[in-house]
Structure 1
Amino acid sequence: MPGHRDGGLHGLVQNFLDDRSCALDFGHWLFPWFEKAVDACARSLPCLTRYARRLLRPVPILGTSLLLAGCGGDLSALDPAGPNAHNVATLWWIMLWGSTAIFLFVSLILCLALTQRGQRLLSPRWLLIGGGLAFPSVVLVALVAVSLALGERLLVYANEAPLRIEAVARQWQWEFRYGDDTNIATLDKLHIPAGRPVDFAVTSDDVIHSFWIPRLGGKMDAIPGHTNTIRLMADKPGTYGGVCAEFCGEGHAIMRFSVQAHEPNEFNDVMQQLSASRAERQQ
């Protein structure tokens, strides 16, 4: 990596992120550009000392490592496992790269403004019309269009009728009730069939909670005396994490649940086993 020195903050971050090749590759690409930008600003701003410049140089590696450190795991919305979550992640990445482009554009204008040449190029009229009206309008219209397009696809699933599951929140656990005509229920463990849409009827027995399975889709508030519905689907069998995403008291941090997505036949077997276990307990 150009400009890289062994040890120090660079070495610490690189060793810490040996398995984060995407972060390092992006940081390696960004580092030479960032270093040149710091040097250019230093020439325009003599108050930016050599010591301050050395402190700024690790920013690309450190920033990208922190940015991408949460891209994995069973609670990562950037590791989607369902169509709803794929749309959410796609919108997130579009907004990330869009905001990055805006930041670079504004940084370029700032660098030009700090030079005599920039003072000749950047007239007040250009800044007001181009930077204050045209550019923000184009960006906002594009983001709204993409958001609407992705939002319209959130309920486009297979033709199979969705399964209905009630998700009842209470301090500090989740109860899941399966189907309309059954008394089968589980606590803090949710079973769903993979490849089939599921309508979750979300409510609460006490305070406001929020039902969220990050890898399958967005959040839905659980409100006492009211039922909200969200449709989710898992692309394939697997285990996913779920949490309460609304602060609900001192036990909020432990109000988690696990989601087990089964093959359709396996899901039917699990339901039969849960029904038989409940019947035995009632005898």
Structure 2
Amino acid sequence: MFHRLAAVSFGALLLTSCSGDLSTLEPGGPYAVAIADLWWIMLIGSGLILGLVLVLLALVFFKPGFGRRLSPKGWMIAGGLFLPIPVLVALMTYGMAQGEYLIGAWQREPVMARVEARSSMWRWDFRYPDLPGNLTTDGTLHIPAGGVVEVRVTSDDVVHSFWIPRLAGKIDAVPGHETVVRIKADVPGRYGGICAEYCGIGHAGMRFIVEAHAPETYRQRLNALSAGAPAP
């Protein structure tokens, strides 16, 4: 009975870890979808290699004499090179293709908005250079849904890491240097963001919120924030 409860609890834990505001396996945009797809492909590929090794191990245990025609050196060459190489080459090729997509090399979709993200111990500030004035929001990033947003990331002190798991991959925030990441939310909503690089005692609380607005209301919302209007 205890073993069944433990198995059910472990299974429930695994299922809950696949969802949530910071889950990479519950993507909310095409860049995050590409990363999630890569994760699943890598999992399947590693599972195939593991399955092959387990089958060979089972044959050795349950089929006496299996493999004696091949020398130990032959097994090392066949098992260590020829068998995993096709899977590893396929995984590498797919991973490189997804990487090219994520950095925009194969993408011609125009950028809808630009944001400057500035990190410091232990907070995030966001500025919107496309809008008049000098609007800065603290702890909340506002973006239009349905379009590509270019985020230029930097740091005022130490190396941090900008990451919105459901929208894109992470990128380092380096003092004195700008790094660029593209994000896109398919639908309006709220998404969680974090610092993914340990940066001191306040690292665990260095989070921010992404609010994706409908395109027709995005500028209205930012203009209201610039005028000092309260959040709806």
The alignment's TM-score, normalised by the length of structure 2, stands at 0.89
Q: Secondary structure at the match of 1:277?
A: coil
Partner SS, residue 79 of structure 1: coil
Q: Secondary structure at the match of 1:120?
A: coil
Q: Give me the whole-angstrom Cα distance separating, in 2, the residues matched to 1:122 and 1:94.
A: 32
Residue equivalent to 2:121: 171
- Asked whether the equivalents of residues 113 and 122 of structure 1 are also in contact (C-alpha less than 8 Å), the reply is no
- Looking at secondary structure, tell me which structure has more helix per residue: 1
Residues 168 and 233 of structure 1: CA distance in aligned 2, closer, same or farther (over 3 Å): same
Assess if the C-alpha contact under 8 Å between 1:158 and 1:196 holds in 2. no
For residues 161 and 186 of structure 1, what CA distance do their matches in structure 2 show?
21
1:164, distance to aligned residue in structure 2 (A): 1.0
Q: In the TM superposition, what are the counterparts of 1:99-248 in structure 2 within 5 Å?
A: 99-115=46-62, 116-120=64-68, 123-124=71-72, 126-154=74-102, 155=104, 159-180=109-130, 181-248=132-199
Tell me by how many angstroms 1:121 deviates.
5.9
From the two aligned structures, give the one with the greater strand fraction.
2
Q: Distance in 1 between matches of 2:140 and 2:160?
A: 17
Deviation at residue 88 of structure 1 after TM alignment? 0.5
Equivalent position of 1:11 in the other structure: 5
Listed one character per residue, the Cα deviations across residues 55-75 of structure 1 (whole Å, up to 9, x for unaligned) are: xxxxxxx4x555443110010
Q: Provide Cα deviations, 1:2-55, integer angstroms capped at 9, x if missing partner.
A: xxxxx21213442x4xxxxxxxxxxxxxxxxxxxxxxxxxxxxxxxxxxxxxxx
Change over 3 Å in CA distance of 1:158–1:74 after alignment to 2: farther
The answer to whether structure 1 residue 274 and structure 2 residue 225 are counterparts is yes
Indicate if the aligned counterparts of 1:157 and 1:197 stay in contact, CA closer than 8 A.
no
AA in 2 matched with 1:178: Y
Are the equivalent residues in 2 in contact too, given 1:201–1:230 (CA < 8 A)? yes
CA distance in 1, matches of 2:111, 2:150: 10
Where does structure 2 lack aligned partners over 5 or more consecutive residues? none
CA contact (8 A) 1:191 1:259 kept: yes
CA displacement, residues 156-180 of structure 1 (integer Å, 9 cap, x when unaligned): 5574333110000011110000124
Task: Report the Cα distance in structure 1 between the residues aligned to 2:30 and 2:187, rounded to whole angstroms.
Answer: 11
**1:249–1:125: structure 2 CA closer, same or farther, 3 Å change rule?**
closer
Count of equivalent residues: 225
Shift of 1:86: 0.6
Structure with the greater alpha carbon radius of gyration: 1
The alpha carbon displacement at 1:271 in A equals: 1.0
Residue pair 1:171, 1:206 contacting (<8 A) in 2 also: yes
> After superposition, what is the alpha-carbon deviation per residue over 1:72-106, rounded to whole angstroms, capped at 9, x for unaligned?
00100011111111110000000111111111111
Q: Secondary structure at the match of 1:174?
A: strand
Of all paired residues, the percent bearing the same amino acid is 48
Q: Which amino acid aligns with 1:107?
A: L
RCO comparison, higher one (Cα < 8 Å, 6+): 2
Partner of 2:200, secondary structure, is coil
Distance in 1 (CA, whole Å) between partners of 2:110 and 2:144 is 12
Counterpart secondary structure, 1:183: coil
Measure, in 1, the Cα distance between the counterparts of 2:13 and 2:54: 21
SS at match of 1:118: coil
Query: In the alignment, what sits opposite 2:28?
Result: 81
164-173 or 104-113: bigger deviation: 104-113
After superposing on structure 2, the runs of 4+ consecutive aligned residues of structure 1 that deviate more than 6 Å are none
1:273 partner amino acid = A
